A and B are shown apart, each in its own frame.
Chain A
Amino acid sequence: MAHFDTEYQRLEASYSDSPPGEENLLMHVAEGAKSHWHHIENLDLFFQRISLYLIKNGFTCMLLGELFELVYLLFVVCFTVFLANCVDYDVLFANKFVNHTDSSKVTLPDALIPMDVCSARIRDNGFVIFVLIISGVFWLHRLVKFFYNVCCYWEIRSFYKNALKMSMVRRTNLPYATWQEVQARIIEIQKEHQICIHKKELTELDIYHRILRFKNYMVVAMVNKSLLPVRFRLPVLGEVVFFTRGLKYNFELIFFWGPGSLFENEWSLKSEYKRGGNRLELADRLASRILWIGIANLLLCPVILVWQILYAFFSYTEVIKREPGSLGARCWSLYGRCYLRHFNELDHELMSRLSKGYKASSKYMNCFLSPLLTVVAKNIAFFAGSLLAVLIALTIYDEDVLAVEHVLSSITLLGVCITICRSFIPDKHMVFCPEQLLRVILAHIHYMPDHWQGNAHRYETRDQFSQLFQYKAVSVFILEELLSPVVTPIILIFCLRRKSLEIIDFFRNFTVEVIGVGDTCSFAQMDIRQHGHPAWMSEGKTEASIYQQAEDGKTELSLMHFAITNPHWQPPQETTHFISQLKERVHREAAGAPSETHPLSLSESEPRSLVANLLAGPSSLASVHFGCDNSLINHAVAGSDGASALRSLSPVSSSLHLRGSLSMAQRASGFTGKAMRTDAHTVSSGSSAWEGQLTSMVLSEYASTEMSIHALYIHESRGELSRHTWHRRESDESSDSIPDEVRSDHNPQSKSFPRSHTFPTVVSSPSATSTSANSSKPKGQEEEKSQSQRRHSGPATVRVARVPMGGWAVDGQAAPRHHEAVPEESSEDEMPPHIHKVSTLNAIDITALLACAGPQ
């Protein structure tokens, strides 16, 4: 090829993308990653940690907690080995004499076996070595986990600090940031950083779904559809609920994260489980997995058992010695916590709700103390007490008494004995009013089987309730520590295995894939249309088959709970409709009753106006006699110190209006104002003024009250519904089952009938003629029923008769007392117990609801 010499020359510079004229170039500005919080890989875990971090009060607390747990483990193992091998018990019990030159006293070091002998003893003992090795491995595992967790929480800490801009210093002092606050910030952050890449914006429901994905499945949905084998019919004991932490752990292992579990990873179910084709084969596979895990449990049983016993011994002995009463105390059982949990309810929300119901629940259980036992206990306590008194008096006189053999131990034993006896002696001021107590409990726990209503005085109800609310001693010591390791493999192998097909079907039918969240339990969507139960207010809206319906009104109540705790949440259209309809009804009740009727003549209004009754009660007590709803709101807004004025009002009604108007204001500012409640319109202008003052803490406190009212209302209309359908069948009277219509359509008998059972409260006139709700309408089936009830309920009948009498007897004097009692509303909690007990039935409800609104 010839070479031409032209002016065109090859550029010397090496080939480069960048042309020489830099100033003409299009320049880009790199955004960079402002923080490394964008696009988080495992959002489930991330959100879980965020909520845990909040609940456990920040980094320092968590660090120390985990550290002490490590130390604790080490201590338990070492100390046990030491006690078993290195102590000369003969010296300690003074069976063997030690030769001392200087003094005759035995010192602690004398009882110890010398180091070398001791270590030789340990080395020779194969079992001890075995235990040591196992616990060593376990401990190392915990150590690695500890470091891992510390790193994770450090990340979370910096997330709180840098991304959420929540100061940690403050948090250690004042752990008062609510989850709602944190959540709102996370949603905010998402807009900026895109933590989740599927969506531009996160919703509250997304976050809850991610945190509670498995809990929604197992704890709520599977328990709700009674899929998990936790109820057993035993020959002697009758129906027993057995659900322990060990069992729960195994269930989780099988379904969610163990090797070969149904879930592929944290966020998606394996695809073969979503197809119905080979369900039988999958069920077989699941069954064999359950079998293997059961066998593994059986093999590990001795190790777990030994560990549990040691753990129990070291953690509870001291407690029992210090306050033996804790043996008689009750707590919410694990099953209870599952049964009572809403869909999408975080642990701390559940626990605070249940704790609020604790007092009423223990009072309810104490109602059923056996009188026989009480008599015996009283006398034993007397004798033990006198012995103890003598011993103590002698000891005070001369300390040498203590040196006498077994004096110290008998003092201790007598003390324990007295405390146990005392737990069987009911409070002197106790009034037997189980129906009211159960209603108060319901206001907090939100769930209860239908047949409890009106049967609160029965022992069956009590027994069933005690499954939810167990003796701590029973649930913790016996079930957890001792029985669980043995029974768990048996349940797995013999009961759960049989249900494998049902489980496979459950996961296939009730899993939906939500964009940006992954596979979640469809119940947790809280879609009334898919999972509503027609008997629970969602009639006409639900299209669910019986298999799809959630039991106990779980869907409806969960929906209300979620909507109330997260007022910013914007549910889908139909759901919004349901919520607003329900809220409107409750509001109407609240607003209507005081204007129509005087609070004392509530018998004219509807039986279902319990809510109205409740609302009317406290507000009249607070001596704010408002004609209607508007005046209250105006009053509140007009008050220069809005928040404090509101607080001085009745907490119940104010919370309703307050929250209603607040959420109204939020809605109005958020998007085009939806005219949901006309009565709340007046406020929306003024609300912003005190929105700032009312922290979310106050709001969430009111939220729980509002939820209580809604729960009561839903149960109420549910109860009414079922009774009306029953009534309709009997008398062939056509009536609409929706409560609104009931008001106008019914004759007095059918109206008063339901009241007799569920609302002794609204039978108002304290005249002697209408002593008992039952006797006031001795007509038709009603009387028959009450009679048959008496026949069946056996020993309890005597007490039934006592209910109204006890209530009415004091009614006259109690009513005025309230007017003084309530204005200092912050302290009803500390109100002396006799006020609760002596006051009318009516007042119990009110005070209880006040108590739930008050700072507990």
Chain B
Amino acid sequence: MNCRSEVLEVTVEARQIDEAMLALLHTILLHRSTGKFHYKKEGTYSIGTVGTADSDCDFIDFTFVRVSSEELDRVIRKAVCEFKDGLNNSGSDGMGQISLEFYQKKKSRWPFSDECIPWEVWTIKVNVVNLANEQERQICREKVGEKLGEKVINVVEVINRNEYLPKMPTQSEVDNVFDTSLKDVQPYLYKITYQITDSLGTSVSTTMRRLIKDTLAL
């Protein structure tokens, strides 16, 4: 695939799942968001401001910075909650992964729908552990905090690498690159997907889709 992919792995306790996920997803999105664009005439624009907010975790010794946008927070929280529920209900060994995919849309000619082409995929693999007593929990609380701190630095390093980013769009194309639905902030188009236990592999629908595509191709 013509996209970068980064994998982060964390091991957490069940109650820490959502906070850990939120911390990482928000960190990534903080760096992949801009202020709203205000186009003056075709080709030039000014960028609005983005506020940041500190977010403290209850179950982890960790504080992360996020974009101070309620809407964005709501969207991510919803996805993370679903993921957490899925993980808790699966009853399996508590493995799962959530991935944040940045993509851009490409307009196609009439018979085809717009293509969504990912350019960066962050995959967070989660390993859930059960702890026996309060003391272990306390240690885990600190450990996970430290680990998350490392991951955040990781993320920043990757983002600082100055690799491919979609070019800044003109007004007509802004929807192909940025998610303009939010009022106060404008992240790159993103998609959050999750998967419980990686042994499942690719789902049936993707296989079918590929099959059809393959037969159509050369």
- Provide the bound-state CA to CA distance between A27 and B4, in Å: 30
Q: In the complex, how many residue pairs between chain A and chain B have their CB atoms under 8 Å apart?
A: 106
- Provide the bound-state CA to CA distance between A782 and B216, in Å: 61
Q: Interface residue tally of chain A, by bracket?
A: 35 or more
Q: Chain B nearest CB: distance from A816 CB in Å?
A: 55
Q: Is B27 an interface position by the 8 A CB rule? A: no
Q: Is A403 an interface position by the 8 A CB rule? A: no
Q: Are B207 and A265 in contact (CB under 8 A)?
A: no
Question: Chain B's interface: helix, strand, loop or mixed, by majority?
Answer: loop
Q: Is B109 an interface position by the 8 A CB rule? A: yes
- Provide the bound-state CA to CA distance between A29 and B38, in Å: 11
Cβ contacts under 8 Å, B106 to chain A = 36
Q: Are B202 and A32 in contact (CB under 8 A)?
A: no
Contact of B217 among A29, A45, A154, A270 (CB under 8 A): A45
Q: Fill in one digit per residue for B85-127: 1 if any A CB lies within 8 Å of its CB, else 0.
A: 0000000000000000000101101011001010100000000
- Provide the bound-state CA to CA distance between A26 and B45, in Å: 9
- Provide the bound-state CA to CA distance between A223 and B106, in Å: 40
Q: Is B168 an interface position by the 8 A CB rule? A: yes
Q: Are A28 and B44 in contact (CB under 8 A)?
A: yes
Q: Is A374 an interface position by the 8 A CB rule? A: no
Using A30-B169, A39-B104, A198-B4 as known contacts, say yes or no to A151 and B45 having CB atoms under 8 A apart: no
Q: Are B173 and A32 in contact (CB under 8 A)?
A: yes
Q: Is B215 an interface position by the 8 A CB rule? A: yes
Cβ contacts under 8 Å, B45 to chain A = 27-28, 30
Q: Fill in one digit per residue for A468-502: 1 if any B CB lies within 8 Å of its CB, else 0.
A: 00000000000000000000000000000000000
Cβ contacts under 8 Å, A45 to chain B = 217-218
Q: Is A169 an interface position by the 8 A CB rule? A: no
Q: Fill in one digit per residue for A7-51: 1 if any B CB lies within 8 Å of its CB, else 0.
A: 000000000011000100111111111101011111101001100
- Provide the bound-state CA to CA distance between A267 and B117, in Å: 15
Q: Fill in one digit per residue for B200-218: 1 if any A CB lies within 8 Å of its CB, else 0.
A: 0110000100110011111
- Provide the bound-state CA to CA distance between A17 and B2, in Å: 35
Q: Are B43 and A32 in contact (CB under 8 A)?
A: yes
Q: Is B40 an interface position by the 8 A CB rule? A: yes
Q: Is A141 an interface position by the 8 A CB rule? A: yes
The stretch from A72-80, A142-150, A504-512, A796-804 touching chain B is: A142-150
- Provide the bound-state CA to CA distance between A319 and B45, in Å: 68
Q: Is B163 an interface position by the 8 A CB rule? A: yes
Q: Is A521 an interface position by the 8 A CB rule? A: no
The stretch from B46-54, B56-64, B71-79, B132-140 touching chain A is: B46-54
Q: Are B117 and A39 in contact (CB under 8 A)?
A: yes
Q: Is A52 an interface position by the 8 A CB rule? A: yes
Contact of B111 among A29, A147, A149, A264 (CB under 8 A): A147
- Provide the bound-state CA to CA distance between A450 and B3, in Å: 45
Q: Chain A nearest CB: distance from B166 CB in Å?
A: 7
Q: Are A197 and B48 in contact (CB under 8 A)?
A: no
Residue from B43, B109, B115 having most chain A Cβ neighbours under 10 A? B43
Cβ contacts under 8 Å, A48 to chain B = 218
- Kindly list 18 other residue pairs between chains A and B, CB separation below 8 angstroms, not including A30-B45, A151-B109: A18-B48, A27-B40, A28-B44, A28-B46, A28-B47, A30-B43, A32-B169, A39-B104, A39-B119, A45-B217, A52-B218, A144-B216, A148-B216, A151-B111, A197-B3, A198-B163, A198-B164, A257-B214
12 contacts between A and B (CB under 8 A): A17-B35, A17-B48, A18-B38, A18-B48, A28-B44, A32-B43, A32-B173, A33-B167, A33-B169, A38-B167, A41-B115, A197-B163
Report which B residues bind A (CB closer than 8 A): 1-4, 35-36, 38-40, 43-49, 104, 106-107, 109, 111-112, 115, 117, 119, 163-164, 166-171, 173, 176, 184, 201-202, 207, 210-211, 214-218
